[in-house]
Amino acid sequence: MVMTRRQLLRSIDAAQIEKSIEEAERLTSGEIRVSVAPLFWGSVEKAAQKAFVLLKMNQTAQRNGVLFFVVPSRRRFVVLGDKGIHEKVGQEFWESVVAGMGELFKKGDFTAGLVKGIGQVGQQLGAHFPYDSTTDKDELSNKVNFE
């Protein structure tokens, strides 16, 4: 089934996702972004890597940006963590985030899947890169990016 742009937008509650990003980022200096892509052909992983750079996820001061890249029409997604956070949590962590989100995505609940993943990532970012009110600034937008 190919989703129209309207169906795509209705399948994701941007306000709820942005709220969960704000809550997660209150715990950390890390940055979380969500990018939702329409249907396209090609590698979702390569598209996610391009989005990571285009959204400047690789330019945070502590290299602790995390991107959730979702293609609802293909029921595919990628979670990419920059070097700083990846070195702290390792591959097993990302696999557990993907597994938890995947269960909800299979049911078509993209918003709940993203909120769950954002919460897990926020906890780990907070543990390894705690929020510091004297030095932390919101480096990247919390708005959901609809390509």
Give me the pLDDT at residue 10, please.
64
Give me the pLDDT at residue 21, please.
96
Q: What is the pLDDT of residues 92-132, one digit of tens each?
A: 999 999 999 999 988 888 899 999 999 999 999 999 999 88
| Residues in the chain where the model's pLDDT stays below 50 | 1, 3-5
Q: What is the pTM of this model?
A: 0.90
- Domains defined along the chain, listed by start: 5-146 (3.10.310.50)
For the chain, the first-to-last Cα distance in angstroms comes to 19
Give me the pLDDT at residue 9, please.
54
Give me the pLDDT at residue 6, please.
55
Give me the pLDDT at residue 99, please.
96
Closest alpha carbon to 26 in 131, 118, 121, 117: 131
Give me the pLDDT at residue 8, please.
52
- Identity of residue 35: S
Classify residue 133 as exposed, middle or buried by CB count within 10 Å of its CB (0-12, 13-18, 19+): exposed
How many other C-beta atoms are found inside a 10 Å radius of the C-beta of residue 112?
16
Classify residue 11 as exposed, middle or buried by CB count within 10 Å of its CB (0-12, 13-18, 19+): middle
Are 141 and 133 in contact by the 8 Å Cβ rule? The answer is: no
Give me the pLDDT at residue 1, please.
47
Give me the pLDDT at residue 141, please.
82
Give me the pLDDT at residue 7, please.
54
* Distance between CA atoms of residues 41 and 23, nearest Å: 34
